[in-house]
């Protein structure tokens, strides 16, 4: 009985917060938003409060509201490297999306909002004859996520291009930081775990003929098509590559291909991909991640580390 009263009080408080935030940011707020709608794995429980700001001012207002109400804040982009647990996310989830989808090209310099899709970025670079972005084609992420995670493929990374970023702190203040100050490493930067939010980034490419750019992009896409399960929901590579060796190679040699937990399965195309066969839950994926780690540990005495970000509650 007492627990029911507590739950009702929680529901009322959440409704109050939603109403106030909706008045502050009309048309940008949702209550109990299913996070499976915002991850490429198509998995995830509800976010208590979900806001997709229409720009920098809206983002600052959302952060101020969270501070005033003492709400935890979770920042997401396209959700392409994200596993949200089945219990969802408490507090406020802020999606850096439509209000941050813009770009500007000046010579070989491209400035893009954090919500700009990498497909749009690479397409614009090709049309302008700016090379260096080809490896990003086919990665289903956004500029902000690519910077934070130092996204990369085929031996290249976002850090190769990133000249500077514009960041917002939890108080809504904006600041510029050079790419060299971001502590870039393999699939990491010092923005991970910080409260700084990427608002925009400046990239520097090199002049190149659009036809040559197109040819390389097509070649890389064909390589992806042959080696990655593009037809099923996934979050890309699940594990980081240990030094000097491919995680996919280790998983395959350890018998990982064919492993399954519920509707989560190790892809038969690429062993470092876990795909959603239709109704996979986060619990399924986490169980399968542990199975794969155990198999590789027992065969090679190597501890695989997840590359995907795991957030939320069970």
Two tokens, residue 192? 């991970």
**Backbone dihedral angles phi then psi of residue 295, each to the nearest 5 degrees:** -60, -45
**Backbone dihedral angles phi then psi of residue 39, each to the nearest 5 degrees:** -130, 145
Could you give the CA distance from residue 80 to residue 76 in angstroms, rounded to a whole number? 10
Decide: 19 and 62 in contact? Cβ < 8 Å: no
Q: Is 307 a catalytic residue?
A: yes
Residue 298, SS3 per DSSP: helix
Residue 249: closest CA among 219, 266, 216, 271: 271
| 271-296 burial code (b ≥16 CB/10 A, e <16) | bbbbbbeeebbbbbbbbbbebbbebb
Could you give the CA distance from residue 145 to residue 91 in angstroms, rounded to a whole number? 21
Catalytic option among 42, 187, 208, 267 = 187
Residue 60: closest CA among 111, 98, 25: 25
**Backbone dihedral angles phi then psi of residue 12, each to the nearest 5 degrees:** -65, -45
Q: Is 164 a catalytic residue?
A: no
Q: Is 101 a catalytic residue?
A: no
DSSP β-ladder status, 46-51 and 89-95: parallel
* DSSP category for residue 179: G
Active-site positions? 187, 237, 307
């Amino acid at each position: 009985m007492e627990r029911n009263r507590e739950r009702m009080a929680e529901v009322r408080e959440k409704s109050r917060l939603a109403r106030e935030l909706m008045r502050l940011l009309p048309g940008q707020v949702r209550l109990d938003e299913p996070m499976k709608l915002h991850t490429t794995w198509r998995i995830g429980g509800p976010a208590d409060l979900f806001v997709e700001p229409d720009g920098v001012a809206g983002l600052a207002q959302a952060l101020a509201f969270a501070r005033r109400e003492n709400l935890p804040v979770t920042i997401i982009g396209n959700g392409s490297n994200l596993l949200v647990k089945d219990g969802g996310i408490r507090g406020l989830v802020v999606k850096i999306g439509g209000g941050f989808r813009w770009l500007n090209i000046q010579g070989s310099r491209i400035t893009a909002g954090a919500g700009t899709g990498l497909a749009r970025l690479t397409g614009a670079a090709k049309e302008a004859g700016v090379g260096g972005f080809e490896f990003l084609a086919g990665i289903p992420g956004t500029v902000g996520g690519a910077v934070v995670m130092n996204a990369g493929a085929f031996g290249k990374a976002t850090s190769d291009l990133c000249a500077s970023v514009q960041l917002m702190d939890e108080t809504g203040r904006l600041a510029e930081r050079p790419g060299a100050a971001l502590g870039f490493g393999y699939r990491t930067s010092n923005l991970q775990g910080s409260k700084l939010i990427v608002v925009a980034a400046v990239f520097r490419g090199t002049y190149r003929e659009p036809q040559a750019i197109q040819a390389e992009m097509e070649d890389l896409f064909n390589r992806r098509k042959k080696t990655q399960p593009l037809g099923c929901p996934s979050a890309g590579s699940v594990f980081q590559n240990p030094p000097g060796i491919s995680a996919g190679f280790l998983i395959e040699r350890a018998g990982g291909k064919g492993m399954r937990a519920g509707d989560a399965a190790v892809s038969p195309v690429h062993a470092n991909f876990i795909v959603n066969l239709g109704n996979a839950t986060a619990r399924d994926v986490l169980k399968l991640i542990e199975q794969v780690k155990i198999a590789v540990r027992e065969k090679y005495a190597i501890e695989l580390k997840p590359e995907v970000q795991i957030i939320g509650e069970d």
